[in-house]
Amino acid sequence: MLTYDLTTLSGPVYKRIYELIKRDVETGELTANSKLPSKRAFAKNLGVSVITVENAYGQLVGEGYVYSLPKRGYFVSEMETPKKTRFFSKTPIPSIFPQEAPSADFDFSSNQAEPEHFPFSIWSKLMRETMAFRKHDLLTVPHRFGVDELREAIANHLASFRGMRIDPQQIVVGAGAEYLYGLLIKLLGVDLVYCIENPGYLKIKQIYESAGATCRSAEMDPHGIVVDELKRMNAQVVHISPTHHFPTGITTPVSRRYELLAWANEEEDRFIIEDDYDSEFRLNGRPIPSLQSIDVNEKVVYLNTFSKSLTSTIRISYMALPVRLAKRFYQKLSFYSNAVSTFEQYTLAAFIRRGFFEKHINRMRLHYVKKRAIILKMIEERLPKDRYRIIENDSGLHFLLQLETSLSTKDVIEKLREQKIKIKAISDYDAIAKRNDLRQFIVNYSNLKLEGLEHALDVIRKTIDVQ
Amino acid sequence: MLTYDLTTLSGPVYKRIYELIKRDVETGELTANSKLPSKRAFAKNLGVSVITVENAYGQLVGEGYVYSLPKRGYFVSEMETPKKTRFFSKTPIPSIFPQEAPSADFDFSSNQAEPEHFPFSIWSKLMRETMAFRKHDLLTVPHRFGVDELREAIANHLASFRGMRIDPQQIVVGAGAEYLYGLLIKLLGVDLVYCIENPGYLKIKQIYESAGATCRSAEMDPHGIVVDELKRMNAQVVHISPTHHFPTGITTPVSRRYELLAWANEEEDRFIIEDDYDSEFRLNGRPIPSLQSIDVNEKVVYLNTFSKSLTSTIRISYMALPVRLAKRFYQKLSFYSNAVSTFEQYTLAAFIRRGFFEKHINRMRLHYVKKRAIILKMIEERLPKDRYRIIENDSGLHFLLQLETSLSTKDVIEKLREQKIKIKAISDYDAIAKRNDLRQFIVNYSNLKLEGLEHALDVIRKTIDVQ
């Protein structure tokens, strides 16, 4: 029977067991495919609980040191070249990174995807097929703009989903939206004045500025970014989300869209970047055509991502350039290799082409409609009618909760934080005024945990009740 | 029996059959899992050769429209939502990209990996395990620097392979070396003077310049980049490959390495970027310590990639920052999300941790030693002794072939190009002198096809024989 002296290490007991077994797997002390003791017997032998051993085995399985066979137990995984010694000493230097804030018990601000909805089985199947049938393609350097098949699949998707007519040659695939912003700055010029919406994602401003560009924040009215503001700021490139603005939820109407296009047409080097980040989740209402589809003067760069519709951790985004910019990109920047793995580009191409993406979006949309209804109902049940107002529009994955209270926005956030509830307000995304009296809070519901919501709403009710 | 009118389309016949079946699979005309006619029967029915049908079926299988079962034949793949119509018309705009040069029959310049050596079966297995056991981790936004496990695996690899002591906290994973160069410019500053080796990869210069930085080319002597050149150019950051310079093959000796470190120590904001791009393939000789490992003043950024050791199409590279730069990165640029898919980061972490990477490198190194010996022997047999000289050092995946001929370098390249042989010379990588009289040609042998080599060498012999 395997025996360890657990006093040689510190930390949680399950972690020590994990570390000791891991070491022995790595050094070859435990040989491949040998059976580990049963959880019960091992726990008894070490004088610990079965749960503790279970946690240790779970982590070992997760990291691939150990595998499990149903009804047979746990076995040591094969290691190709067992290390005789561990070269790397665990902590040669003290922690470089500052302590991250402890995570909240309940988080209204997370915009990640829910893990239980990612289509793992089909993705795994397509990845396997890709590796079985596309070996040569996978190892061939693709077109600088991305794998041809993926660009064709995206063009087809945009045609059927958004009614957009885009040629695959106009599409550039990139490693996340941030990466594409960086390419756009190189393409359009670092010496131009870029303008973003205020309020808005302040990260976009940071990205423009870290690349050396000037970036200004232009105020919005209820129809979106204000064209006179752009003129006042001498903007040359404006970066907007007209379909569903974050965080206000505003959808820019067609009239304002034409105003924006007219502004862009006034000067040769004015462009609009249309960031359509969550348009797949328009929940009701008739679709508004994208700016790109009503642009006849090659002024709009259309940008979208699979972060919301699939997962942000896969890091695949794309942009559709007007033809003349696609040509300029090819001439000026084609020495850049495409930054996304061919393995995932071919898999995603098959996922879209074979209809799984459309099915996934439809399923997720239905799921979010239901989830939003449940959340709105809970709010209605838990908060007094005269103390809140829901501000939403017909698309996207968040809505606004405006609270009536004598507390300032900042005070509400701080008091909830003390009670381990994380929430953000419009003012957190405001680069200019940071209005403390708006009391408009953001409910990102894509990853909201329904279990804790009733309690969180009760805490909110008590918090805003304070005189 | 399936019947098509092949006259409705143009182009190669196999492509027409492919297009017609593809359309019918997409529209649902051909239902999922239905059996396609046997190659022989279908060929007879269409009045074409069996090879033609085979090519069409092959492409359909490759793209996932059709699957094959051994001894049973070909079947229609499942499409989740059959498209009723094709929205996207094939060629709404004329080609935006210029015609690429026709590929050569024989290429001495390709530096891609050989497809037959990628460890597909183990990679596929690890990817599958990762998706089975790490669902939650895969969908969780990782540390900005990259997945913890991968950074730990890389630190261990560098310790055992290069004798380097690097903490995982110092490591930043990026979507290819080019992506990391871009981050470094943002980290160190766009207003500094960057210096690269001449000759060298001109692409590096393009990347610095496209990001808005000043980049100068400094001459080398037989020991590597010349320190006085750096001073003359007011360089602040120097980007070098001291272990195995491309294209000269020079390995910078320890004495010059200390000179470079001394230069960097003279000013606060001087740094060295050590690009160790193919150090895994040092073939003989004792290893020279990396600049990073003899740097005691936090002046060296160490950069490496899996492009040579695995495949460039997976787009994973990493850099090890000195502690103070890692801190600066975290403070200044941590709003950037990590740009590499977690799916591939966890898979690669398991690949390294479980010893498959080390085994793969060892196998590839052995393969390259043999391949190089065969190539050198063929050259010896085919070229007259007094007409060539091999210039190589003990590492890396290329060597130089210096030819004795009355023709200039440019003439040799042009005459070989006319005979469909592609080769590059040192002068192709020279930003300054472009010396036409050196006649030093580059033999990249990682992807060289041995089958055509004898013929290519005969052509070279005849070409240089011309008076």
pLDDT for the residue numbered A329: 96
Q: What is the mean pLDDT of residues A307-328?
A: 95
Nearest residue of A to residue B190, measured between CA atoms: A212
Query: What is the crossing angle of helices B356-382 and B450-465, to 10°?
Result: 40
What does pLDDT average to over chain B? Answer: 89
* DSSP β-ladder status, A66-69 and B300-305: unpaired
> Distance between CA atoms of A123 and B343, rounded to whole angstroms?
11
Q: What is the mean pLDDT of residues A306-321?
A: 95
Cβ separation A344–B344 shorter than 8 A? yes
Q: What is the mean pLDDT of residues B87-91?
A: 44
Cβ separation A341–B337 shorter than 8 A? no
- Give the H/E segment covering residue A454: helix A453-465
Q: Are B148 and B142 in contact (CB under 8 A)?
A: yes
Edge-to-edge strand ranges of the sheet holding B214-221? B171-174, B317-320, B300-305, B271-275, B237-240, B193-198, B214-221, B224-225
Cα angle: A297, vertex A301, A304; to 5 degrees: 145
Closest in A127, A133, A354 to B127, CB measured: A127
Cβ separation B63–A353 shorter than 8 A? yes
- Select the more confidently predicted residue: A95 or B139: B139
Eight-state DSSP code of residue B467: -
Cβ separation B327–A96 shorter than 8 A? yes
pLDDT for the residue numbered B88: 45
> Distance between CA atoms of A172 and A160, rounded to whole angstroms?
19
Eight-state DSSP code of residue A97: S
Q: What is the mean pLDDT of residues A392-419?
A: 89
What tens digit of pLDDT does each residue of B58-85 get?
888 888 888 888 888 898 888 876 554 4
- Please choose, from the candidates A357, A373, A366, A372, the residue with its C-alpha nearest in 3D space to the C-alpha of residue A118: A357
- Please choose, from the candidates A155, A149, A152, A146, the residue with its C-alpha nearest in 3D space to the C-alpha of residue A180: A146
Three-class SS state of A332: helix
Three-class SS state of A157: helix
Question: Which chain A residues are within 8 Å of B82, Cβ to Cβ?
Answer: 355
Chain B nearest C-alpha distance from A35 (Å): 18
- Please choose, from the candidates B157, B208, B379, B281, the residue with its C-alpha nearest in 3D space to the C-alpha of residue A81: B157
Q: What is the mean pLDDT of residues A453-461?
A: 96
**pLDDT above 60: residue A83:** no
* DSSP β-ladder status, A193-198 and A237-240: parallel
Cα angle: A54, vertex A59, A63; to 5 degrees: 145
Type of residue at A113: A
- For chain B, percent of residues with pLDDT exceeding 70: 95
Nearest residue of A to residue B61, measured between CA atoms: A133
DSSP A25-59: HHHTSSPTTPBPPPHHHHHHHHT--HHHHHHHHHH
- Select the more confidently predicted residue: A287 or B4: B4
**What class does CATH assign to B117-354?**
alpha beta
pTM for the whole structure: 0.86
Six-digit token string for A431: 């680069």
> Distance between CA atoms of A342 and B274, rounded to whole angstroms?
27
> Distance between CA atoms of A187 and A326, rounded to whole angstroms?
10
Domain B6-88 fold: Arc Repressor Mutant, subunit A (1.10.10)
DSSP B369-411: HHHHHHHHHHHHHHS-GGGEEEE--SSSSEEEEEE--SS-HHH
**pLDDT above 70: residue B283:** no
pLDDT for the residue numbered A81: 65
Q: Are B440 and B402 in contact (CB under 8 A)?
A: yes
**pLDDT above 80: residue A217:** yes
pLDDT for the residue numbered A3: 78
Six-digit token string for B166: 């690097």
- Give the H/E segment covering residue B106: strand B106-107
pLDDT for the residue numbered A283: 63
pLDDT for the residue numbered B83: 56
Nearest residue of B to residue A65, measured between CA atoms: B354
**pLDDT above 50: residue A85:** no
Cβ separation A88–B155 shorter than 8 A? yes
Eight-state DSSP code of residue B449: -
Cβ separation A169–B312 shorter than 8 A? no
Question: Which chain A residues are within 8 Å of B84, Cβ to Cβ?
Answer: none
Chain B nearest C-alpha distance from A363 (Å): 12
pLDDT-wise least confident of A36-40, A301-305, B215-219, B225-229: A36-40
- Please choose, from the candidates A360, A315, A321, the residue with its C-alpha nearest in 3D space to the C-alpha of residue A340: A315
Chain B nearest C-alpha distance from A228 (Å): 30
Closest in A87, A330, A338 to B159, CB measured: A87
- For chain B, percent of residues with pLDDT exceeding 90: 63
pLDDT for the residue numbered B259: 96
Question: Which chain B residues are within 8 Å of A130, Cβ to Cβ?
Answer: 64
What tens digit of pLDDT does each residue of B238-268 get?
999 998 899 998 889 899 999 999 999 999 9
Nearest residue of B to residue A333, measured between CA atoms: B210
Cβ separation B175–A123 shorter than 8 A? no
Chain B nearest C-alpha distance from A217 (Å): 18
**pLDDT above 70: residue B457:** yes
What tens digit of pLDDT does each residue of B293-326 get?
999 999 999 999 999 899 999 999 999 999 999 9
Cβ separation B124–A120 shorter than 8 A? no
What tens digit of pLDDT does each residue of B350-406 get?
999 999 999 999 999 889 989 999 999 999 999 999 999 999 866 678 999 999 999
* Banded model confidence at residue A91, pLDDT cuts 50, 70, 90: very low
What tens digit of pLDDT does each residue of B166-193 get?
999 999 999 999 999 999 999 999 999 9
- Give the H/E segment covering residue A374: helix A356-382
What tens digit of pLDDT does each residue of A130-145 get?
999 899 899 999 999 9
Cα angle: A230, vertex A231, A233; to 5 degrees: 65
- For chain A, percent of residues with pLDDT exceeding 70: 95
pLDDT for the residue numbered A162: 83
Beta strands in A136-192 (DSSP E): 171-174
Chain A nearest C-alpha distance from B456 (Å): 23
Pairs of residues, one from chain A and one from chain B, whose beta carbons lie less than 8 Å apart = 259
* Banded model confidence at residue B288, pLDDT cuts 50, 70, 90: confident
What tens digit of pLDDT does each residue of B426-439 get?
999 998 877 778 89
pLDDT for the residue numbered A298: 95
Buried b (16+ CB within 10 A) or exposed e, A75-97: bbbbbeebbeeebbeeeeeeebe
- Best A77, A80, A134, A334 residue to mutate vs chain B (most B CBs within 10 Å): A80
pLDDT for the residue numbered B225: 97
**pLDDT above 80: residue A466:** no
Sign of CA dihedral A113, A114, A115, A118: negative
Which of A58-67, A219-228, A284-293 has the highest mean predicted lDDT (pLDDT)? A219-228
Chain B nearest C-alpha distance from A407 (Å): 31
Closest in A170, A178, A335 to B337, CB measured: A178
Residue B216 β-bridge partners:
B195
Cβ separation B313–A165 shorter than 8 A? no
Task: Look at the block and give the residue holding tokens 């010396």.
Answer: B435
Q: Phi/psi of residue A435, each to 5°?
A: -60, 120
Chain A nearest C-alpha distance from B407 (Å): 31
CATH number of B106-111+362-464: 3.90.1150.10
DSSP-based helix, strand, coil % in chain A, nearest 5: 45, 15, 40
**Within 13 Å, how many C-alpha atoms sit on residue A155's CB side?**
24
Mention every residue, 6+ apart, whose C-beta is less than 8 A from residue B328: B187
pLDDT for the residue numbered B97: 83
Type of residue at A28: G
What tens digit of pLDDT does each residue of A36-56 get?
888 888 888 888 888 899 889
> Distance between CA atoms of A175 and A177, rounded to whole angstroms?
7
* Banded model confidence at residue B89, pLDDT cuts 50, 70, 90: very low
Question: Which chain A residues are within 8 Å of B211, Cβ to Cβ?
Answer: 186, 211-212
Buried b (16+ CB within 10 A) or exposed e, B69-79: eeeeebbbbbb
- Please choose, from the candidates A261, A250, A234, A252, the residue with its C-alpha nearest in 3D space to the C-alpha of residue A200: A250
Closest in A77, A206, A341 to B354, CB measured: A77
Cα angle: B305, vertex B309, B315; to 5 degrees: 45
pLDDT for the residue numbered A67: 87
Chain A nearest C-alpha distance from B108 (Å): 17
> Distance between CA atoms of B81 and B31, rounded to whole angstroms?
12
| Residue ranges covered by each domain of chain A | 6-88, 106-111+362-464, 117-354
Q: What is the mean pLDDT of residues A309-325?
A: 95
Closest in A80, A92, A203 to B356, CB measured: A80
Nearest residue of B to residue A93, measured between CA atoms: B167
Cβ separation A186–B359 shorter than 8 A? no
Question: Which chain A residues are within 8 Å of B344, Cβ to Cβ?
Answer: 341, 343-344
Cβ separation B335–A206 shorter than 8 A? yes
Sign of CA dihedral B55, B56, B59, B64: negative
Question: Which chain A residues are within 8 Å of B361, Cβ to Cβ?
Answer: none
pLDDT for the residue numbered A90: 43
Nearest residue of B to residue A335, measured between CA atoms: B203
DSSP A217-233: EEEEETTEE-HHHHHHT
